[in-house]
Structure 1
């Protein structure tokens, strides 16, 4: 599932899927996003968005 599909879930279902509340997910996303903006991008661009990468990590 992608983040676009998951973000419309009820908070209880969101937590059941990835283990954190949507508010916590957004806080984690801001923490991950801040250093990634400063990095210089090299190589092939990622097909996954940062939201999808975080969601995949939490689901694993």
Structure 2
């Protein structure tokens, strides 16, 4: 993953420009912790001392790079639909009346 991100960073910033506040490794760690632990972005902003928008942009950038690569892409919808091994689970969610004491 880190190699893909390094290559994308090199291509994106080949002509120079404004350097990001977070390193590539930091961006990867933030994205992985965001999805693994469902961590709130405000907590992450406190740890890295950057704004919430910077964290959001970092997660989005890493997602886009990994989605574009063939190694980390998800299967297409047709492939999932054509999968015959589908397991169906039924859950009873009917409402039940709660017996509460009447007010006097």
For Structure 1 versus Structure 2, the TM-score category normalised by the shorter chain is: 0.3 to 0.5
Query: Highest Rg: 1 or 2?
Result: 2
- TM-score normalised by length of structure 2: 0.27
**Higher RCO (CA 8 Å, separation ≥ 6 residues):** 1
Instruction: Report which of the two has the higher share of helix.
Output: 1
